[in-house]
Structure 1
Amino acid sequence: MEEEEIFELESGGVLKEVEVAYETYGELNEDGSNAVYICHALTGDAHVAGYSSSEDSKPGWWDDMIGPGKYIDTEKYFVICSNFLGGCSGTTGPSSINPDTGLKYGLDFPLFTIKDMARVHKMFVDKLGIETLLCVIGGSMGGMHAMRIAIDYPEKVKSVVLIATTSHLGAQAIAFDAVGRNAILADRQFNSGHYPEDKGPDRGLGIARMIGHITYLSEEGMRRKFGRALRNSDDYSYDFDPEFSVETYLDHQGRRFVERFDANSYLYITRAMDYFDLEKEFGSLEKAFASVKARFFVVSYSSDWLFPPAHSQEIVDALVSNAKDVSYSNINSHHGHDAFLIETDVIGPYIENFVWATSHKITDSFAYTRNSEPGRSDYEIIQNQFVVSGDVLDLGCGEGELLARLRDVNKCDVLGIDIDTESIGSCLKKGVPAVWADIEDSLESFADGQFDYVVLSKTLQTTKRPKELLKEIVRIGRKAVITFPNFAHISCRAQLFFTGRAPTTSSLPYSWYDSPNVHFFSMKDFEKLCRSVNIRIEQRIVPRTAGTGIVNFLPNLFGREAIYLISRES
């Protein structure tokens, strides 16, 4: 792509022309609705999948994810990946020819930002004639691009996947970038950025790569892979040559990197990352995401210390505070920041379900009622009698069946929270936004009265601090629906009386030693607790075991479970 008009950059610099190198996979459908745009990371390029030629020794950097029949199926989607502005794989950057001098730009190339990069992405997609992208997917620095596209061009994208990324670099990440740049600048061959292809600052660039690569791994991952193993002997050589396996591995990574990457591009791109700070630009993350229209799926990794899960959680909280459609999963992995490139079999199904749900409007509302979870008569009552419409937050949402019903039948705006990552994946398949979190530690970020209804269904008895949780629920919800098994049911009493053992029933099916339940309480216990913390009980329904009718006579004795509609006292 060439841009005829002068391209003005945030820094004040200008480019008279911009060329973009890109690859595509699959075919664009007639209405142009199946385009998936991949934003690569710092040292990536446009070659995201497959083999470009018979000379390629390896396929594209995300080949396990993209291709016919794979998670991002190129028989269904038109996949695009372009090398970003400032890159060294075909797109205009410091190694390009300056039209004013006929020489390579080098350090004469103007400084640019992530916003500039995103603008090039958008203009490039316009050149392809694509009005709207089905999904923009970015990992690490690519996630920054994806955020900027969604923020700056809200009409351009329907959904966004942000993987192991951040809304700003922390001081530690900026420090690592600075050390890497200084290694390049201090190399004798750097020559103020004007160096020949065959004699560049290879040593400095190799060291920069080694430093960066360390941040992509984790302590546990490095210990598992290398430990203190020696490479070529059983004893120390007592010199400064690399002899530990981890040393020779980093040397290898550095050597490979200088064969394919430009030192000047590394300087410019890492500086662009340093400047990326949505909160500084907009005043807050909430303001940054206020106008986005896309659905979001955010992914973090437990061992990522470069962009730790807390950074992803900040993005999720900002989207939730704006009532945006957002899902989030924190995946347990020992691979650190690079996990999304390594564990494609883990993240793949999530992305597959998310993109599929974006491209399909789910209208078969009765699919969820026909395949209802066993023993969930409370869902029918909640849907038909308690939650008529409005914004709904389901705490401990499981696979999202209740939320799917409320969304499709009652036309509610819904959000789920669950601590189980597999449940988040099931919600994604239903198109239900769901956030991975511990409900006892994650509600403080919600505003007072943010939801019309908060649902806590058969979960209160599993929490450690039910009193505090109830107070938070009625703070963030104008009304709340609470359901729980009744430990005072006659069958529980009989088992305790006649056998002297902990009871097991259809509502309490677990043995005492493997039960997720922490507290065993009755309806009377719950009502007493509500009175003690100024919670109003507006309605109570005690369904019969078969799910038809209600228990009116001695409900605390004959009710296996109870459903309450509560609110905060004025």
Structure 2
Amino acid sequence: MTVTVTRTTVPEHGIVRYASIGGLDLEAGGCLPDVTLAYETWGTLNADASNAVLIEHALTGSTHVTRGDTDEPGWWEQLAGPGAPVDTDRFFVVSINIVGGCYGSTGPSSPAPDGAPWGSRFPLVTLRDSTVAEARLADQLGIRSWFAVLGGSMGGARALEWAITFPERVQRCAVISVGAASTAEQIAFAQAQTLAIRQDANFNGGDYYGGPFPEDGLALARRIAHITYRSAAELEGRFGREPQAPESPLQGGVLAARGRYQVESYLDHQGNKLVRRFDANSYIAITEALMSHDICRGRGPLPETLARSGARFFVAAVDSDRLYFPAQSRELAAALPGEVDVHVIEAPIGHDGFLTEIGQLGRQLRAHLSA
């Protein structure tokens, strides 16, 4: 059931709730009627609503950032929770499932006005559109200004869009492992992933609900993505050229019967895990939203665009990231007004270090949120 939320100090912590925010006119044209946003909260909103922090999830992340009343582990517990840098004993923390997602917000699997799933009819939603939608939910929660908005990867792009689209509503902004725009290479990787899904025999143009799901295409998309999430050194160190025992890549007689290398088995595992929890159309919708990421679109050069925001910025990168290179974070920081450091997570793992090693920046993030 969809619940329209008015200003409240929501008592449940880490429990998915739903809000209807009305129709949403879209940047690329068209409209989504009666949009629902799924979200979770932790902590208590204070009397003047000045302690609200928004944490934006990455591409296939959910709203469950940290533990709550269910005690289910969250995906960024090094960052948020009681006593963590984003201290839920101090802050009212909010996480919102992006429009187009499959964790409760309106997306391709949601009913359209005719009662059937949107499927192939779901419109293109940009990160800017999702920010406008989230602002309406913030209004319903009574939050006129965020103490901080932060995120990593696509979550960082969403945080940056918030700071520029609603500069009067963001006091601090942490942008981790992402640049000011998706590059041609990043768009190319993304297109390969969406094409893998679209070419699945069961995709049916996006109208596969009620029939076989395009699981093979989604699993292949995840394999492609995961290669960019991990560094070459990480893959070499963990797997090298080792076979997946008892299989042998050099036995079997024919190509179709050969065994796998360990790294192939690892990618198979990652693809199969995502298939069990994610919708293929949502993967396409959100990936295309990330492809749209360009903070300067319709706004002018990067320094001019960033000057719109008066937020205090925190910029960070993973030193081994080969999806969003540290140079993109340095370019962003150099274009911001004043002197903005680029904090570096040292992790051989690659892009995913923004999730697994965020604890390295605990001291710096605490300082940013205490300034």
The answer to whether the superposition gives a TM-score over 0.5 is yes
Q: Is the 8 A contact 2:167 2:310 kept in 1?
A: yes
- 1:269 is paired with a residue whose SS is helix
2:247 maps to 1:229: no
Which letter maps to 1:204?
G
Partner of 2:275: 258
The one of 354, 357, 370 aligned to 1:343: 357
Alignment RMSD (CA, Å): 1.8
The corresponding residue for 1:60 is 74
Name the aligned partner's letter for residue 74 of structure 2: G
Q: 2-side partners of 1:187 and 1:352: how far apart?
A: 46
The answer to whether structure 1 residue 328 and structure 2 residue 342 are counterparts is yes
The partner residue of 1:181 within 187, 190, 194 is 194
CA-CA distance at 1:279 after TM superposition: 3.4
The answer (yes or no) to whether the contact 1:86–1:269 under 8 Å persists in 2 is: yes
Provide closer, same or farther for how the CA distance between residues 174 and 7 of structure 1 changes in structure 2, counting only shifts above 3 A: same
Residues 203-253 of structure 1: per-residue CA shift (max 9 Å, x gap): 000000010011011111112222222221385452455522211111111
Contact 2:177 2:351 in 1 (8 A): yes
Of the three residues 320, 335, 349, the one matched with 1:303 is 320
Partners of 2:117 and 2:98 in 1: CA distance: 18
Distance 1:88 1:190, change over 3 A: same
Structure 1's unaligned 5+ residue stretches are 358-570
Aligned to 2:92: 78
Equivalent residue runs for 1:152-231 within 5 Å: 152-196=165-209, 199-231=212-244
Contact 1:296 1:327 in 2 (8 A): no
Matched, 1:131 2:144: yes
Partner of 2:10 in structure 1?
none
* Offset, 1:51: 5.8
Shift of 1:281: 2.9
Q: How many angstroms does 1:69 deviate by?
A: 1.8
Would you say 1:36 and 2:53 are equivalent positions? yes
**In structure 1, what is the Cα distance between the partners aligned to 2:234 and 2:211?**
35
User: Measured at CA, do residues 82 and 52 of structure 1 come closer, stay the same or move farther in structure 2, by a change above 3 Å?
Assistant: farther
SS in 2 for 1:297: strand
Paired residue for 1:454?
none
Distance 2:211 2:360 in 1: 41
The CA distance in 2 between the partners of 1:31 and 1:46, in whole Å, is 25
In the TM superposition, 1:10-25 aligns within 5 A as 10-25=27-42
Query: What per-residue deviation string (whole Å, max 9, x for no partner) do you get for residues 249-282 of structure 1?
Result: 1111111101111111111111122222233432
Counterpart secondary structure, 1:281: coil
Larger radius of gyration: 1
TM-superposed CA distance for 1:114, in Å, is 0.8
Identical counterparts, % of pairs: 42
Task: Say yes or no: does 1:284 pair with 2:301.
Answer: yes
Show the counterpart of 2:4: none
Matched with 1:429 is none
Question: Which residue is equivalent to 2:20?
Answer: 2
Q: Is the 8 A contact 1:229 1:244 kept in 2?
A: yes
Change (3 A) 1:197 1:210: farther
Superposed displacement of residue 349, structure 1 = 2.4
Secondary structure at the counterpart of residue 178 of structure 2: coil
The range that moved more, 130-139 or 269-278, is: 269-278
- Per the TM alignment, residue 292 of structure 1 is displaced from its structure 2 partner at its CA by 0.3
Residue of structure 1 equivalent to 2:290: 273
**1:107 Cα offset (Å):** 1.4
The answer to whether the Cα contact below 8 Å between 2:181 and 2:295 also exists between their aligned partners in 1 is yes
**Which amino acid in 2 is paired with 1:199?**
P
Q: 1:318 aligns with which of 335, 343, 358?
A: 335
Give the counterpart letter for 2:208 in structure 1.
Y
Q: CA–CA distance in 2 between the matches of 1:82 and 1:134?
A: 16
Deviations 1:57-79 (A, max 9, x none): xx111123221122221111111
- Distance change >3 Å, CA 345–CA 278, structure 1 → 2: closer
Task: State the 1:105 CA deviation.
Answer: 0.1
Write the mapping of 1:465-480 to structure 2, written as runs, cut at 5 A: none
8 Å Cα contact 2:99-2:106 kept in structure 1 = yes
Partner of 1:390: none
Q: Distance in 1 between matches of 2:357 and 2:325?
A: 17
SS of residue matched to 1:291 = coil
- Distance in 2 separating the partners of 1:197 and 1:205: 17
Please tell me the residue identity of whatever aligns with 1:175.
Answer: A
TM-score normalised to the size of structure 2? 0.90
2:106 equivalent in structure 1: 92
1:71-92 Cα offsets, whole Å, 9 max, x none, are 2211111111010111110001
Amino acid at match of 2:273: R
Task: Quote how far apart the aligned CAs of 1:305 are.
Answer: 1.2
State the one-letter code of the partner of 2:109.
Answer: S
Q: Once the 2 structures are TM-superposed, how far is the Cα of residue 197 of structure 1 from its aligned partner? A: 5.9
Task: Name the amino acid aligned to 1:232.
Answer: A
Aligned-partner residue type, residue 82 of structure 2? P
Equivalent pairs counted in the alignment come to 349
Distance 1:154 1:280, change over 3 A: closer
